[in-house]
Structures are given as C-alpha cells and as structure tokens.
Structure 1
Amino acid sequence: MEQKKPSFLPALKSIPAIAKVAILSITGICLICLALWYGNVLNFDPPPEVVPSAQIDPGNSEFLTAQTDPLNPELITTQTDPGNPELLTTQTDPGNLIYQGEAQKLPWSGWWWPFHVSLPYHLYDPQGPMDKYDALAVAQGLPNPESRAWERQHHYADGPGEEWFGHCNGWAAAAVLEPEPQTARTLAGIQFKPGDMKGLLAEWHWWDPAVAFYGSRYDGPGDDIDDIYPHQFHRVLIDFIGEKRRPIIMDIRGGTQETNSPQIWNYPAYRYQMEYQPDRNHPDRIHVRCRVWFAYTAHPDYQGTRSSMKVYYYWITGDQRRPTAGGWESSIDGGWNTVGDSRRDHPDFLWYPASATQHQVLSRRLIDQIISGRG
C-alpha cells in the first residue's frame, strides 16, 4: 500500500491571507541573514593580512619589499595577479633554483673608501687605517712603509666627475672572501677598530683579479650599452648564488643611465628571487621580474650585513634555467604591476674575485696580525 507524503497545504489554507504574507516575509528575511552569515563563514578570499604579497616601497617605486609566508617565515612567496590569471607564481618550490637562491655565507657591509677629498672616510686620513698601519710597522722595528703617503699619491682625487672613484671593488671582494673583522685590537699601544681592519682589507683586495667575469664594462660610445645581456645575467645568478651558493659581485650601474657618465659601482649580491609570466604575443618569450639582494655600504665600523634590494625586468627564451637569448625591458612591457625600466638601469658586469697575493706597500702578514691581535 502506497504511503502518502505529508502535506502542509491544508494547514496553510486555514491561515488568514495577511498572516500568510507576514510568515513569508519573516522567512525571506531569515534566509537572507542566513546567506550573509554563511558567506562570511565560508569566505574563500583570505584576509588581506594573511595573503603573502609583494609591496612597493612608497619611498622608492623601484625597490620592493616582500612579506613572508606566516606559516613558514623563511619562505618568501608571491601571489598571482587576479587581473592576469596567466601570471606564474613562486609559491611552491623553495628548492627550485629558477625561483630563488641564496649564498651560504652572507657578505658583510663596509665602507667604499672614496678617493675624492670632498667625501668622508679615506684610507689616507690622519689616524686612518694606513696611518695606524705605518705606526705599527715602525713600532715593530720595521722600515716605515709610508703606506699613507702612497695611498694619497695613488688614490687621491679632487676633480669634478671623480666623486665616484674609490675602493668599492676592494670592499666587495673582501666582503665575499674574508671573515668580517668584529673586534677592536690594540697592538703596540695602537688601537685598530673593525673599520680600520676593513679598510686595510679593502686596499689589499683592490688588486684582486677576477677568476670569473661576465659581461664587459661600458666605457663610452662604441661599447655595448645593453651588455650584460639578461639571459647571461639570469644564468650567472642561478649558477653562482643558486647552484654554488656563493655571492657574486655586480657593477650595478649599467644601461642607458651610463650614456653620458660611465661609472662603476660594485656590490656583492647574495640572494635572488625570480617570477615568470608568458608573453601573449610571443609564445617563445617569458617575462621575468628578478629581485636581487646586496650587501650595501655602511659606516666603516658597521657590523653585519646592511641589505639593499633592486628589481630587474627582462624577457628570455629557451629553458628557464639556461635561457639562450633575452632583452632588458620596462615593468610595463613585461606586464607587471610595478614601476621600473631595466633598459635604463641594469647590471653592467658580474665577477668573482681571487685574493691578491701581494701589494706595493702592504704586508699581508702584518694585516693578519692586526686582525688576530697577535703581534
């Protein structure tokens, strides 16, 4: 025998019409409230403060800061652009070197010891690193090496346009190859601060040869202003910082900014992070936004690594790890939602040093005595 399903229709028929309207209105309001509550509970968009994202530094639109993943503070992540669903992300695989890499030993920050008399902290200053070095040599019964006089003769500048001359290459090489001097030492009554030791190392390593050199210096008309090419730059970062886990020194002043004023500004790079997105019109091209972290210059006695970061924009073809061609571009050309133009501002060359074996007036043995405090 078939059972009849219960029905509420007879009950509804016995209710006055005005009561029916009231019941339906109250029911509708309840359903709307329930839907709003349900939507908030099951909100599929994470709160903004939880979403790891890249942010523009309002003080400098070309320098970015990044938030860490709150569940893994060591993993820096980025997220896709909702307006561009084709944007690839670096969220998942911190071990994949096409996305990020970091040197095992961080280079330390130091001063670049300018030549120009108008700028502070010279190696030839009275009571500076070279002056103290000479005094120690004499106190130990050695002939006066007159390193301060030599420095003033060979590394002194006072002309216009020479303000950038200095020891940035020597400091960068020392920061890559040497342990950071951290303790003041007193020998023969002469106090050497960490900055004095860093200064002597910057002069010693000023003469370092390069065991690896990528790109070529732009020195004026006739030279290639696009060099180093981005696919070479891309590969060097992955090979040195990613694969070998070593920092590499970069002359960061390249591109069309050099056209009328070629200069060299060496900084040790120790970390990179890369993001990729395809080109809609050229299927063989991939656009890259590459962040590079550097040890930046600081007061001579500064301890540790004062970090700075620059962003580069370019496209590549071929394998993402070993691309075969590429070109510098602006952030707009690459489809990024940031500001910057790497045609104007990109690295000029990259290099890795080998320690100098001698110097015209300095003794490595005496420098090591100063750093160790054992004279």
Structure 2
Amino acid sequence: MKGHAMRLSLIPCALSLFLAISCGGGGGGGSDRAAPNDSSGSVPTDPNGLPVTSPNANGSAAEASPGENAGESSPGASALATLPIVYLTEELAATREVFKDFGELTIDPALINEEGQNKSTILKIPDANLPWSAYWYPKREDQLFNGNSSPMFKLDAYLGKFGIDKLAQAWEQSNYSPSAAEWEGLCDAWAVASVLTKEPKQKIRVLGVDFTPSDLKAIAIKYFEGYPNKIYGRRYQGSASTDGQIQDLRPEAFHKIVEEVIGKQQKPIVIDEDPGPEIWSKPIFRMSFSYTRDPDYSNALLVKAFPWMIRQRASVSDEPTTINKDLAAPQYEYRLFYEPGTNPLKIIGGEWLGPSINFHPDMVFVPSATTNVKQANTGVQKNNEEVRKLLVKVGMLSE
C-alpha cells in the first residue's frame, strides 16, 4: 500500500478538474491481511454509459469522440454531465473493456434506500460451489517439495506409475527462492483452483499413493498455475506510466462484473484486492450492495458493497473450508454518477471513496475453462493431462 498518497499527489490538478463526460452504451499471493473497515460479522443479513473524456498520463484532458466505438449507441447533448472526476487513458480503456464484454451498468431506482429504509441487494453463487481455502505456498518456503511426504514427491510417485520421469519435485527445488519477496507465492493459482475445482475433504489412495486433502489442493494449485485468465483492470507496476491510476479498476466496472458473473452466471470471480504493486488474490462468491442518494450531487448514488471472500490459510491444513473460519468480509464504498432523466439509472462514471481509495480491487480475473497447459513447473506441464486425470479421479474435476 506504500506510495498511494504520493501517487495521488502527482495529479492534483487532474483531480480538481470538472470535465464534461459523455457516455456510450458499449465499448469495450500473499499472506492474509485485515481490510480497512473489515465488516466480518456485520455483513447485511442478506444487496454505460462510458466517459469519453480522459486525462493523458501527464494529466491533460484527451478528447474521445462519442461514436469512436463501432456499434455503440451515443446519447445526445442531454446525456452530458459535468462530473468532478477524470479518467486516465488506461482507466478509461479498462472500463470500456468491461462494458464491451458485459454491457452498460444501470441501477433500478427501486433499490435505493430512501429515508428510514435499509434495503440491500444480494448476489451469490450456489452454496455447493463455495471456493476452498488452502495454504498459498510462498516462494521462499519449501513445503511443496521438501521430503517424501511433500505434494510434489507424491505427484512424482503417482506419475511414475505410468513410467513418467519424476520432474515435479526437482523443478520446485531448483526454483525455490529463499530471498523472494514476502508476498510472492501461489495465491493467484490457489484462488483460480479454488473456484474451478471441488474441495477434497478426505484422504485417498490412488495407485498406491496416499494423498491428503492438502496434497491434492497443492497439486491443483500447481496445475492451475499460469492459467490464462480473462483479466479486467490494469495492474499497478509502481512505475511512472501508471502513477495516478489508484482508482483503477473503476467501481462501475467492478460493479458490472459482479452483477454479470456472480449475479447472472452464478460463478465466483477472483480479485487482486490491493491496488498497489503487490498482488493479493482472493475469490469472491457473494456480494451485498446498499444504495443511498448522494447529498453532494443530484445525479449520484453512494454505494456500500460487502464482498464475501475466502481467505488463504497461514499454514498447510487438511481442515475443510468453513464460513466461520475462512471468510474475509471487507467493505467497499464508492460513488456512482448517473445520467439524469434515465430509468433505470444509466451509470456514466464512478469513484472509490474513503478507505476504499487505497483498498479496492486492482484487477478482476474471470476463470472459465477447467484445463490448463501453461503450468510453470515443467514436471506438471509436460504431463498436464495425467495431472488433470488425477484431479478427475479424486473428484476435484469433472471429465
């Protein structure tokens, strides 16, 4: 989280600009930490228009014609709104990509809490598809390969039954890096594996090799390492080219992804929960939204969003995942601007507020296919089909 205040201070003039923003219909691992204002235990019981004016990296405004995206509908002059926010070029591109894939974001006015009301909108996946928790295997530690009870030793032993060279354990040992950064590890691969496979809960013997639940989770994590996710948002790299993009991924884009994937498709998503240069991945399986009218702007809503995420574990464990033990439930706050006179309300811009400025999703990953051929570990990659068959045999994947 270091450097966020500095990055904001680099563009004070841009943040104070009031730009006329038009909108169009389309266009296209680390250890767990407590989130600011973490609301575990107080989550509600049960919750495109696009800007076409953006600042360049140097803070100047760059005009984009309303019809530059082929096939998108563009409102006329009545759709223009004066908003106290600007979009950097890459923020705008990331937002457009979301709306190109999922359509514009609209909000039903009936969902807004008027005085004295306390309504919420809840989106969630089926309970049977809950992502599972596991250790995230830091790059500087050796649990994956150290000893004949390690997951990679057992994987090699299993593959050896087919006359396959034993390479997985050796690869992990040769790529072990005790000087790696504390946050480097397999939390991204864990998060993807946890949403694409079923949780193993019992010890099982396959071809004479005994696998514990944590062994099988580790093998699934290594199988999905390098998985080609569909990624929305731009990763902050701690470089001049991205300074000032602390608002990416913009809240209206994140909100739309949640609506479509968790709400309509009934599937989890994976987020990088830190907008800084480090990557801290977690799967989200439930979201609650609460809307109120913004007292400062006649065409804006204030949104409180309560994601339910599964947290990674601090050590290797065979215990099954439970909400009581493995839930992470922070709170996000943001403002959504809408085009006056629309019903449902057509969202034309957004910004993160309060603690959420420095703590919100940087990127969203949307896993889909349950196969992978781009594993980093050559012992897994060369034999990825046999590894996948193992995951099928133990019930983590379907044929």
Q: Alpha-carbon deviation of 1:86?
A: 3.4
State the partner residue of 2:109: none
Give the AA of the match of 1:185: I
- Aligned partners of 2:36, 2:281: CA distance in 1, in Å? 21
Give the conservation status (yes or no) of the 8 Å contact 1:181–1:198. yes
* 1:102 counterpart residue number: 124
Residue 285 (1) aligns with residue 300 (2): yes
Q: Deviations over 1:8-29 (max 9, x none)?
A: xxxxxxxxxxxxxxxxxxxxxx
Unmatched runs of 5 consecutive residues or more in structure 2: 1-33, 48-112
3-state SS in 2 of match to 1:346: coil
Flag structure 1 segments of 5+ consecutive residues without an equivalent: 1-57, 69-74, 78-83, 92-98, 331-340
Match 1:295 to one of 305, 310, 334: 310
State the alpha-carbon separation in 2 of the partners of residues 252 and 294 from structure 1: 10
Do 1:272 and 1:293's aligned partners in 2 also have CA atoms closer than 8 Å? yes
Q: Which residues in structure 2 correspond to 1:152-231 (within 5 Å)? A: 152-154=173-175, 156-159=176-179, 162-210=181-229, 212-221=230-239, 222-223=241-242, 224-231=245-252
* Contact in 1 for aligned 2:246/2:358 (Cα 8 Å): no
TM-score by length of 1: 0.67
RMSD over aligned Cα atoms? 2.7
CA contact (8 A) 2:274 2:360 kept: yes
Higher relative contact order (CA 8 A, sep 6+): 2
Aligned to 2:335: 315
Contact 1:229 1:327 in 2 (8 A): yes
Give identity over the alignment, percent.
Answer: 26
Aligned partner letter, 1:86: E
Residue matched to 1:63: 39
Query: 1:63 aligns to what SS in structure 2?
Result: coil
Aligned to 1:132: 154
Tell me which residue corresponds to 1:90: 119
Question: Are residues 1:346 and 2:365 paired?
Answer: no
Q: Answer yes or no: is the 8 Å Cα contact 1:209–1:355 preserved in 2.
A: no
Rounded Cα–Cα distance in structure 2 between residues aligned with 1:242 and 1:320: 18
Cα shift at 1:169? 1.3
The structure with the largest alpha-carbon Rg is: 1
Q: Which residue of 2 is the match for residue 76 of structure 1?
A: 46
Change (3 A) 1:271 1:367: same
Tell me, yes or no, if the aligned pair for 1:196 and 1:300 is still in contact at 8 Å: no
State how many pairs are aligned.
275
Query: What's 1:23 paired with?
Result: none
Corresponding letter in the other structure for 1:344 = N
Deviation, structure 1 residue 100: 1.4
TM-score by length of 2: 0.63
1:334 corresponding residue in structure 2: none
Cα distance, 1:170–1:131 mapped onto 2, change above 3 Å: same
Residue identity matched to 1:267: K
Q: In the alignment, which residue of structure 2 is the partner of 1:147?
A: 168
How far did residue 163 of structure 1 move? 1.2
